[in-house]
Amino acid sequence: MSDHIYKHIEITGSSTESSDKAIENAIAKATQSLHQVHWFQVIDTRGYIEEGKVKYWQVTIKIGFRLDD
């Protein structure tokens, strides 16, 4: 078995539903162009407020993926 090398990037997902959905949206988009995605870490959570209510959630995550051998 060979040693693996990983890279990580930071991206921000958004959703009008929830912070969990914002994470799911970010991962879904990232996996369209990245492969061998293995983990994520939440870095920041924030939201946009309109008329006294949460309009949408924004979640910044680190996504880790393995580089090709």
Question: What pLDDT does 69 receive?
Answer: 77
Over the stretch 38-57, which tens digit does the pLDDT of each residue have?
999 999 999 999 999 999 99
Three-state secondary structure string covering the chain: CCCCCEEEEEEEEEECCCHHHHHHHHHHHHCCCCCCEEEEEEEEEEEEEECCEEEEEEEEEEEEEECCC
Global pTM value: 0.87
Q: Domains (ranges, CATH) in the chain?
A: 6-66 (3.30.1660.10)
| pLDDT value at 1 more than 80 | no
pLDDT band (50, 70, 90) for residue 4: confident
